[in-house]
Amino acid sequence: MDIQLGCLLLAALGLYLVPMEVSFIGDTVWLQLLLGLLGAIVTFAVVLTLARSETLFGKMLRLHCTQLTPLFSKLSPSQMVWVALAAGVCEELLFRGFLQSWLSQLSTPFLGLLGASLIFALLHCVSWVYFFLTFMIGLILGIFYQMSGSLVGAIVWHAVYDLLAIFAIVHFPHLLGLKNQVLKRG
């Protein structure tokens, strides 16, 4: 949670110091919520498929999920929800709300999208596989934010995806192609 708090503080400071308009709610908030939910489900299904593949990418992704198991297995279901919500809100405020918007003002929307997605991936980088995956997800969330003009859908997308991923890692590792996972709650 310290990382999410840091993201929130950086986003708040950036949005305060750099004058720009960031929209949280577009014209159709219900549509944003629905599209964010659907986007998260589709993204999660793609990641499940990749994780279960016998490619080097799939093997590395499974290894990464195995490494995350001890971190998340100690959380209660309500704590998992809070972690996912905190990541969705704080990271989207920082990376899409502030950074992408700011970089777009300094250059072009395309370069703002690339820059924010690259920084998002670098800060999540634990392996080349996870760097690539988070870069692609960052691009998708950034495009969604650019097209919708609202952070609500991107926040929902990010939070729901994280929640699905955490629950799968802890409670349904077989969905990710993980075998012989022994989970002990601390």
CA gap 78, 132 in Å, rounded: 30
Domain ranges of the chain: 28-176
Rounded distance between C-alpha atoms, residue 79 and residue 82, angstroms: 5
With a CB cutoff of 8 Å and minimum separation 6, the contacts of 119 are: 95, 99
Q: What is the pLDDT of residue 30?
A: 87
Look at residue 24 in the predicted model and tell me its pLDDT: 57
The stretch 48-72 carries a mean pLDDT of 92
Specify the range with the lowest mean pLDDT, choosing from 111-115, 122-126, 161-165.
122-126
Is the per-residue pLDDT at 105 higher than 90? yes
pLDDT of 1 above 80: no
H helical segments located in 93-127: 101-106, 109-123
27 confidence band (pLDDT: 50, 70, 90): low
d(CA 180, CA 68): 15
Closest CA to 22 of 150, 157, 119: 150
pLDDT at residue 25 in the model: 58
pLDDT band of residue 103 (cuts 50, 70, 90) is: very high
Are 102 and 18 in contact by the 8 Å Cβ rule? The answer is yes
Does the pLDDT of residue 109 top 60, yes or no?
A: yes
pLDDT digits (tens, 9 = 90+) for 129-141: 999 999 999 999 9
